[in-house]
Homo-oligomer: A and B are copies of this chain.
Amino acid sequence: MGKRKENSTNMLNEKSIMECDLTYAVCKVGGRWKLLILCKLENGKLRFSEIRRLIPKITERMLTLQLRELEKDGLVKRTVYAEVPPRVDYELTPIAIELIPIWSKLSDWGARHKKLVK
User: What is the interface of chain A, defined by CB distance below 8 A to chain B?
Assistant: 13-14, 16-17, 20-26, 28-30, 32-33, 35-36, 39, 57, 73-74, 95, 98-99, 101-103, 105-114, 116-117
Contacts and interface: CB of A to CB of B under 8 A. Distances in A.
Given A26-B35, A102-B109, 7 more contacts: A17-B33, A17-B57, A20-B107, A21-B107, A22-B106, A23-B35, A24-B110
> Looking at A95, A98, A105, A113, which has the most chain B CB atoms within 10 Å of its CB?
A113
Contact of A39 (B22, B24, B57, B98): B22
Given A17-B36, A74-B116, A25 B102 contact: no
Contact of A26 (B26, B74, B98, B111): B26
Contacts of A105: 101-102, 105
